[in-house]
Amino acid sequence: MIELRYFSEKDFPQLIDWMTSPEFLLQWGGPKFHYPLNYEQLKEYVVDSNSDHSSQLIYSVVDKQTDATIGHIALRNIDRGNQSARIGKVIVSDEARGKGIGTLMMKEVLKVAFDQLQLHKVSLGVFDFNQPAIRCYEKVGFKKDGLLRDHRKMNDEYWSLYEMSILDSEWNS
């Protein structure tokens, strides 16, 4: 149903189009990116990615039937010595939301992490108000490790962030 393909410069315009507000960009990209997202930021983002010894693997998520890009996901901070990594930069296109695509994306990237890279632990962060994402992550086996209270400031409010993780022993591919 879906396929992970390495994210490349040809994918930049679509990802830029998906970032419709500063709030949405913060949820997707964290404080490293600033609104509006542009080519220069994305060129910096893809440095040291998508090779055998990269610290990050960045993917476009493609619908196999239509060949349309319907999402984006990254396996970042790959630490081969400690056998750990972090999932980030997760987005599902508006057209694909509510169809289980997020769950499929997570399963595919966890296959890379656990089956190919032989990692022990994969973590992620998700804002506490993003209940659909939290349900998706729990569905594939992530557990809440803790809540970072008032972790990011957006305009005049603070957002709290759940840290979540999954271990190789908890993964059923």
DSSP-derived secondary structure letter, 120: S
CB neighbour class for 173 (10 Å; exposed up to 12, middle 13-18, buried from 19): exposed
Q: 90-136, pLDDT tens digit by residue? A: 999 999 999 999 999 999 999 999 999 999 999 999 999 999 999 99
Kindly list the domain boundaries of the chain, sorted by start residue: 2-122
* 40, HSE (Cβ side, Cα atoms, 13 Å): 3
> What does pTM read for this prediction?
0.95
Q: 51-100, pLDDT tens digit by residue? A: 989 999 999 999 999 999 999 999 999 999 999 999 999 999 999 999 99
- Which CATH superfamily does the domain covering 2-122 fall into? Gcn5-related N-acetyltransferase (GNAT) (3.40.630.30)
